[in-house]
Amino acid sequence: MTALASSETAVAAAREHSAEQEARRRDVVRRWLLSAPALLIIFLGAVGPLVIVVVYSFLAPGDYGGVSWKFSTDAWFNVLFERDIFDDSIGFASANISIFWRSVLLSFYTTVLALLVGFPTAFFIATRPERQRDLWVFAITIPFWTNLLIRTLAIMELIRNEGLVNLVLIKLGLIDRPIQILFTDSAVMMGMLYVYLPLMVLPIYASLERFDFRLVEAGYDLYANRFQVLRRVILPIVKPGIVAGSILVFIPSLGAYVTPRLLGGNKSMMLGNLMELQFGQARNWPLGAALALFLTALVTVALIVYVRAVAASTRKAAHG
């Protein structure tokens, strides 16, 4: 009797386990079916265009724009290299490399300036009374309510030869004639700094808002000066916010189009302008697609650096 009962119990347990597995499988299938429309939209809206760009980058340019459905790697070759039209020798594409370098350099400088301006701003907001913080954050986010083109045109009106900046400098007697600011790299950098500065301030403020300022007082009690407190107490704790803000400024700056186009003109082109030129006037869609993928690769590298920096900071904080 005992053996028979044990056998029946084992069979019942096996049936129950099988029923649980079947219910779990049905639940997984049901979830996939419910997620299918969203996944399809994501694929068509994000992955689909990227696949088209990848395919176009390996085709030949059409005679009047578009592509010719012939496999070719010339677009990828022309990203960094070019052939001489006379002796067919190969050399670096100096124009493209110059634009690449300008894009990276201006994006880096913009990020550094945004950090130098954004960190004190975020610190100031975080140290205000709690009732005032929301008002200051609201003031920081106001520029996002205005179209990017409008904001860029406003900067243009300020720095043009007859603009407010030159007018004030002349009235103060500091200069005799207007300074050429517009259509320079400095103008592009100023424009991007104005546009992307809130993206630096908000992540740093989010880190500082959770910061326990009693640690600062403890640092002073241990005879640390202000610089030591900043370097050894504040910066290590708010580092994730600084890294996040830097990435949020650097990546959009790399692909900026409107700001360099209006403030830099044809003399300060960046990657976004070069891509638009290939799809527009040059009518070389494969090269434009290759340049877009090259920009995507740069952004991916920046994101990998960001993820590793955050992971290292998290591990250090966990073991510290």
- Secondary structure of the chain as H, E, C letters: CHHHHHHHHHHHHHHHHHHHHHHHHHHHHHHHHHHHHHHHHHHHHHHHHHHHHHHHCCEEECECECEEEEECCHHHHHHHEEECCCCCCEEECHHHHHHHHHHHHHHHHHHHHHHHHHHHHHHHHHCCCHHHHHHHHHHHHHHHHCCHHHHHHHHHHHHCCCCHHHHHHHHCCCCCCCCCCCCCHHHHHHHHHHHHHHHHHHHHHHHHHCCCCHHHHHHHHCCCCHHHHHHHHHHHHHHHHHHHHHHHHHHHHHCCCHHHHHHHCCCCCCHHHHHHHHHCCCCCHHHHHHHHHHHHHHHHHHHHHHHHHHHHHHHHHHHC
Q: Does 185 score more than 60 pLDDT?
A: yes
Q: Does 27 score more than 80 pLDDT?
A: yes
- The pLDDT of residue 318 is 59
- The pLDDT of residue 102 is 93
- The pLDDT of residue 175 is 87
What is the rounded distance in angstroms from the CA atom of residue 175 to the CA atom of residue 161? 12
- The pLDDT of residue 15 is 75
- The pLDDT of residue 213 is 80
pLDDT tens-digit readout, 106-157: 999 999 999 999 999 999 999 888 888 889 999 998 888 888 999 999 999 9
Q: Which two tokens stand for residue 90?
A: 């190969």
What is the rounded distance in angstroms from the CA atom of residue 86 to the CA atom of residue 77? 18
Q: Tell me which CATH code domain 92-319 carries.
A: 1.10.3720.10
Q: Which two tokens stand for residue 201?
A: 């301030």
What is the rounded distance in angstroms from the CA atom of residue 158 to the CA atom of residue 167? 9
- The mean predicted confidence, pLDDT, of the chain is 87
- The pLDDT of residue 118 is 94
What is the rounded distance in angstroms from the CA atom of residue 179 to the CA atom of residue 271? 27
Percentage above 70 pLDDT, the chain? 93
Q: Which of 37-46, 131-140, 172-181, 187-196 comes out lowest in average pLDDT?
A: 37-46
- The pLDDT of residue 203 is 93
Angle 179-112-210 from CA coordinates, rounded to 5°: 135
Percentage above 90 pLDDT, the chain? 42
What is the rounded distance in angstroms from the CA atom of residue 258 to the CA atom of residue 245? 21
Parse the chain into domains and list their residue ranges: 2-56, 92-319
Q: Which of 1-10, 218-227, 301-310 comes out lowest in average pLDDT?
A: 1-10
Q: Does 289 score more than 70 pLDDT?
A: yes
Q: How would residue 3 be classed by pLDDT, with cut points 50, 70 and 90?
A: low
Angle 154-157-163 from CA coordinates, rounded to 5°: 145
Q: How would residue 2 be classed by pLDDT, with cut points 50, 70 and 90?
A: low
Q: Does 4 score more than 70 pLDDT?
A: no
- The pLDDT of residue 317 is 60
- The pLDDT of residue 125 is 93
Q: How would residue 167 be classed by pLDDT, with cut points 50, 70 and 90?
A: very high
Q: Does 1 score more than 70 pLDDT?
A: no
pLDDT tens-digit readout, 299-314: 888 788 777 776 776 6
pTM of the model: 0.83
Average the pLDDT over 53-71 and give the result.
Answer: 91
Burial class (CB in 10 A: 0-12, 13-18, 19+), 6: exposed
pLDDT tens-digit readout, 87-107: 778 889 898 999 999 999 999
Q: Does 253 score more than 60 pLDDT?
A: yes
What is the rounded distance in angstroms from the CA atom of residue 245 to the CA atom of residue 173? 39
Helices 185-209/94-126 angle, 10° precision: 40
- The pLDDT of residue 197 is 94
